[in-house]
Amino acid sequence: MKKILFATAATAAVLGATPALAQGIPAVAGPRVEAVVGYDRVKALGEKDGGVLFGLGAGYDFAVGNGVSLGADIEATDSTQKEGDPDIAEVKAGRDLYAGGRVTVAVSPSANLYVKAGYTNARFKATDGEVTESENFDGFRVGAGGQYNVSNKAYVGAEYRYSNYESGLSRNQVAVTVGTRF
């Protein structure tokens, strides 16, 4: 919880200071799609294990002021994270669906920073070598990131996000994105 409060306070301080930098810089606006890849670290029942995160995201940003926009995000990802032996007992992270909102602030004509929050639903699968069962877990996600325009429409980005689910499950993820705006 301390990590979440610290990250939220740090992000608020950065975003609070950036509107002065955004004077005269247009806000990002319109639809976007992106590929997501990164590191996924799942914590369950005191155990931690990591894997590769990969998926697709989409969203729409609405300019609300000078260099500031509000956006909606959706995302579907999967992970290679698993723990245990599939012949004895194994737990594997499955798909993760996310829907939320974000606030984006332009810090230069080519770069912006954002914070995001929303609902996430993750599937985990367990097997004992003979029987496989899966269960979905609801939770929330908070994150912060930045994007840099490499052309008029294409961008690259980086993001940290924390998800907390029911039953003591959580995950920390660091992702890079490659996307385009329309």
Map residue 77 onto helix, strand or coil. strand
Stretch among 20-24, 76-80, 92-96 having the lowest mean pLDDT: 20-24
Q: How far apart are CA 37 and CA 39, in angstroms?
A: 7
pLDDT digits (tens, 9 = 90+) for 130-169: 888 999 999 999 999 999 999 989 999 999 999 999 888 9
pLDDT digits (tens, 9 = 90+) for 92-121: 899 999 999 999 999 999 999 999 999 999
Q: Which domains does the chain have, with CATH numbers?
A: 2-181 (2.40.160.20)
Q: How far apart are CA 53 and CA 176, in angstroms?
A: 10
106 contacts 25 by C-beta, under 8 angstroms: yes
